[in-house]
């Protein structure tokens, strides 16, 4: 990851083709260039995070930031066709879709599990999601380097495309759902996991072929999303390896 600091450099980066993960703005910053930065980031659907001036100075390691910095990604992102073309070489492809996973530790843990389950591609949402930061890479234990990751703007459009390409779309949800072990995963699978607090969006759930859940036996109604990912992905692996 590379940090771009200063108002003009950040604005120029936003107006270029550079892959920006997130823009950081110190609390209380105002002015014409700040407004331009906000507008450019919104147009590109890049997250803006307001943080304390002290935190921003710490990130910049003493360099003058003018209250603004942007995190430039060194992560390679794949496009839809690259992932699907590679996935279709398998009898039963496996795609994972992360709908607004916000905690970087959760994201890193999910990516580690996905790599261990030999997932063919990961789709993460552009907005309201954790970016592929150093924390995510570290938590994934290096799995990020072995995964095909794509950033997308609209999960519902992705679902339509996947269905056209022969995938069955499963969404993890507590409502109107079926026991995850009662589903046949010997088919091209796209599995959707939702936000830590809110789960998958309602329209996303409505567009799934099947909603599934992990039955809870205690008093808590759900697992951490990274734990759920492990349970669901390895049930898919178990079924497919079963003779």
Domain count, the chain: 2
Looking at the structure, tell me whether residues 84 and 12 fall in a common domain. no
Looking at the structure, tell me whether residues 98 and 168 fall in a common domain. yes
76: phi then psi, degrees, rounded to nearest 5? -85, 130
Distance, C-alpha 123 to centroid of its chain: 6
* pLDDT tens string 165-204: 999 999 999 999 999 999 999 999 999 999 999 999 999 9
Query: Rounded to an integer, what distance in angstroms lies between the CA atom of residue 23 and that of residue 48?
Result: 5
* 94 or 1, which is more confident: 94
Q: How confident is the model at residue 21 (pLDDT cuts 50, 70, 90)?
A: confident
User: Strand 149-152 and strand 121-125: pairing?
Assistant: parallel
Last residue of a domain, one of 72, 96, 114: 72
pLDDT at 2: 79
Looking at the structure, tell me whether residues 28 and 110 fall in a common domain. no
Specify the CATH number for the domain of residue 160. 3.40.1280.10
Q: How confident is the model at residue 74 (pLDDT cuts 50, 70, 90)?
A: confident
The mean pLDDT of 37-45, rounded to a whole number, is: 92
**Any idea what DSSP says for residue 119?**
-
Looking at the structure, tell me whether residues 124 and 36 fall in a common domain. no
pLDDT at 108: 95
* pLDDT tens string 211-223: 999 999 999 999 9
Looking at the structure, tell me whether residues 131 and 230 fall in a common domain. yes
Query: Rounded to an integer, what distance in angstroms lies between the CA atom of residue 79 and that of residue 71?
Result: 21
Q: How confident is the model at residue 76 (pLDDT cuts 50, 70, 90)?
A: confident
Looking at the structure, tell me whether residues 61 and 23 fall in a common domain. yes
> What is the span of the domain harbouring residue 33?
2-72
Specify the CATH number for the domain of residue 54. 3.30.1330.30
Average pLDDT over the chain reads 93
């Amino acid at each position: 990851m590379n940090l771009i600091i200063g108002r003009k450099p950040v604005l120029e980066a936003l107006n270029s083709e550079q892959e920006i993960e997130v823009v950081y703005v110190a609390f209380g910053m105002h002015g014409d260039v700040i407004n331009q930065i906000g507008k450019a980031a919104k147009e590109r659907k890049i997250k803006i995070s307001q943080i304390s001036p002290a935190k921003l100075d710490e990130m910049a390691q003493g360099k003058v930031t003018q209250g603004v910095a942007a995190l430039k990604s060194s992560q390679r992102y794949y496009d839809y066709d690259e992932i699907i073309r590679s996935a279709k070489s398998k009898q039963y492809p496996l795609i994972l879709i992360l709908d607004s996973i916000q905690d970087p530790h959760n994201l890193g843990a999910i990516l580690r599990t996905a790599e261990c389950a030999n997932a063919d591609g990961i789709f993460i949402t552009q907005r309201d999601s954790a970016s592929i930061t150093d924390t995510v890479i570290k938590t994934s234990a290096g799995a990020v380097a072995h995964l095909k990751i794509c950033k997308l703007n609209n999960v519902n459009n992705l679902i339509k495309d996947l269905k056209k390409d022969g995938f069955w779309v499963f969404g993890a949800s507590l409502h109107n759902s079926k026991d995850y072990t009662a589903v046949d995963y010997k088919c091209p699978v796209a599995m959707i996991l939702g936000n830590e607090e809110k789960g998958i969006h309602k329209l996303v759930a409505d567009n799934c072929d099947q909603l599934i859940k992990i039955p809870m036996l205690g008093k808590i109604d759900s697992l951490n999303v990274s734990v759920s990912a492990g349970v669901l992905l390895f049930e898919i692996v178990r079924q497919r390896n079963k003779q």
